[in-house]
Amino acid sequence: MFKTLAFPVALAGVFSFAHADEGQWQPYQLPQLKAELKRIGINMPAEKLADLNKHPMSAMVSLGGCSASFVSSTGLVVTNHHCAYGAVQRNSTAEKNYIANGFLAKTLAEELPAGPDARMYITDKVENVTELVSQGLTAAMSGRARAEHVESRIKALVAECEQDKAYRCSVPSFHRGLEYYRIRQMMIRDVRLVYAPSDKIGNFGGDVDNFEWPRHTGDYSFLRAYVGKDGRPADPSADNVPYQSKDFLVVSAQGLKNGDPILMAGYPGRTSRYKLPAEIRFARDVSYPAKVTESRADLAVIAAATQGNAGAAVRYASVVKGISNGLKKTEGLLDGFARKDIAAIKDGQDAEFRRWYAQHGSKQDLLKELDTLITADMAMSEEEFAWSVASTSELLKSARTLYRLAIEIEKPDAERHTGYQQRDMTIIAGKLSRLEQSYLPNVDQARFTAALQRYNKLAAKSHIQGLDVLLPTPESVAGLYQQSSLNETAKRLGWMSKDRKAFEQSDDAFIRLAVKLHDTAMSLENRRKELDGNLERVIPQYMQAVIEWKKSLGKPVYPDANSTLRVTYGTVAPYSPRDGISKGPFTTVEGIVQKHTGKSPFNMQESLLTAVKEKRYGVFKDAVLQTVPVNFLSSADTTGGNSGSAVLNKNGELVGLNFDSTYESITKDWYFDTAITRAIQVDIRYMLWVMKEVDHADNLLKEMTIRYPEK
């Protein structure tokens, strides 16, 4: 592709030019950042940080959407309150409301199931399999054939890796398909809730303070991993025992100060740092506004359908929290785009790159082909968004999953579509069971009816050809719920063992609807495969060129986040969001008292207010602040999925938990602005102080290894 470079590009040596806190680095890259880590004051050897089987990386955990870390030798895991919120909600009722009152298990016997779909993943092996995935690809392949070939190669690599059933393996792409890595993770299937403070602490400030600074949120909770008596992962059982953690983090109550270095390890979800200007404008002008409108409307419907019903509100608390968090982030992205013209910045970078490519690239039609495919991708995204609106119902989603499963089961396991293989059965069952705690027929009916009304108002170009005549009218939705038994968990699960013929002969209204919609859904899926296959052919060539260009400029090169284990670094740092305003890096418990109004979301529990009034700070009192710090800012590079990520001091000890970003930082998913990008963390001293002075979680304090300040 290049006059001087062979495909695929060798990425070694392109990371030594980093001079900012930007970058979500794969662990193996850290030795090449040795000088940077030393410069900011990190004492741990970079080679040790790169080894997944050594402390501290061996203590890091993925929760499948959030991050966490082991803090004891008996499987105790600390993460964010909002990451454990689903587990808290599933165990709550209007009468026994752990959301409002908090939950603490004083003994192992009192710990509660986190939910049928709760998982912990411990990464222990990562290997580059790019050549194996690419094996057999030819230029003559259609996009769909290419996509299916890659999928087949990945499934074979996963099957080989999962011969030991203790592990869950995946083969995600990096640099938009330029590289593939096979990742092996031990999958813990028995996860239990140990301790969560009241949401008066864990969600203090609620949506009002979400993505804001100053912040005073105790966003932490504890879970525990359980395994069979043989020490291997097992299905949930009363006979299981706590997992013996190979490594765990020492908790440091010695604290941080402004300018101190930090490391953060976790599983960031998705960033879009290498997207084209056109893709940024599409997000800014089309997809994000549509998402905001849809989220606001859906939340309004849920609020109306659950109003006055405390039990219903508890059931949908986790759903509402998830939608609300996504809404606030999307609104922040739009505000960020309005505040700083990132598309224009990218225009300049793109123009500079294209000038460079004109001199160094040998395939001069590459960028034209890329632009054409990106345009097609954006158009199809609008259709996929419309489809997601039209299929809002949880019962419809369940029915569609079950019918697709019945069809896929007819094939040999290796030929089934990803997500419907034998390895996926427990996950499907968990998702179907989860509705038992987060579903009510009248609420789902209201959501589906309103969603169909909104779908009918979407632009005609976004409507999938042939779909409209297959969808129920909003007026007929009530009848679907009256003629379906899928609202019963046992009957939903019972459909997992039925064949295609049973579905096609069923008189269940949602099963019939799923069967009717299947061909249209498959048509959309196959068109997506065709487009993705072509994108997977072109974008890696583009990314190879971008990497070489950035390398020539001495700029950092790291892959976009993709939910795999990453390490980032930075310092405790204030920032100035706008002219004349400077925001310090710490908040304190006095700020909680100042914000307290007695009304949600600024209603703090009295026991904490009393502890502050009496200044019962003990060893958690900061020598400079003369009080207990609550949250702090750092310049680390984070995104969604980093929630719960361990924040480590220069010696690798746990000093905080990442849980949010400042509002001005949200656009970092697209563009990292060193001056204003700040992550928000819970100071571990606040967590320990609440555990001791407010919730009396003495059993957990004894279980952890805590390094207290020297007297």
Alpha helices in 558-605 (DSSP H): 589-595
Nearest to 25 by CA among 186, 247, 263: 263
Return d(Cα 360, Cα 2) in angstroms, integer. 6
Torsion 666-667-672-673 (CA) sign:
negative
User: How would you write 47-87 as a 3-class SS string?
Assistant: HHHCCCCCCCHHHEEECCCCEEEECCCCCEEEECCCCCHHH
Return d(Cα 216, Cα 199) in angstroms, integer. 12
Please name the amino acid found at residue 711: K
DSSP 171: -
Please name the amino acid found at residue 360: H
* Burial 381-407, CB ≥16 within 10 A → b, else e: bbbebbbebbbbbbbbbbbbbbbbbbb
Residue 410: CB atoms within 10 A of its CB come to: 10
Return d(Cα 25, Cα 569) in angstroms, integer. 9
Alpha helices in 210-316 (DSSP H): 277-282, 288-306, 310-315
Is 82 a residue of the active site? yes
Please say whether the beta carbons of 120 and 63 come within 8 A: yes
Please say whether the beta carbons of 679 and 638 come within 8 A: yes
Residue 132: CB atoms within 10 A of its CB come to: 17
Nearest to 660 by CA among 682, 675, 629, 689: 682
Phi and psi, residue 631, nearest 5°: -125, 160
Peptide bond into 556 cis (omega under 30): no
C-alpha distance from residue 344 to each of 20, 280, 349, 602, 618 (Å): 22, 10, 9, 39, 52
Rounded to 5°, the CA angle 548-552-555 comes to 90
Torsion 201-205-210-211 (CA) sign:
negative
* Marked catalytic residue, from 82, 216, 463, 596: 82
Is 219 a residue of the active site? yes
Please say whether the beta carbons of 197 and 218 come within 8 A: yes
* Marked catalytic residue, from 318, 643, 661, 665: 643
**Regarding beta strands 706-707 and 251-252, do their DSSP bridges make them parallel or antiparallel, or are they unpaired?**
parallel
Place of tokens 């949930």: 236
Place of tokens 């495919």: 373
Please name the amino acid found at residue 469: V
* Marked catalytic residue, from 219, 298, 444, 532: 219
Return d(Cα 353, Cα 282) in angstroms, integer. 21
Return d(Cα 663, Cα 293) in angstroms, integer. 19
Return d(Cα 406, Cα 339) in angstroms, integer. 50
DSSP 275: -
C-alpha distance from residue 418 to each of 240, 405, 497 (Å): 30, 11, 19
Where in the sequence numbering do the catalytic residues fall?
82, 219, 643
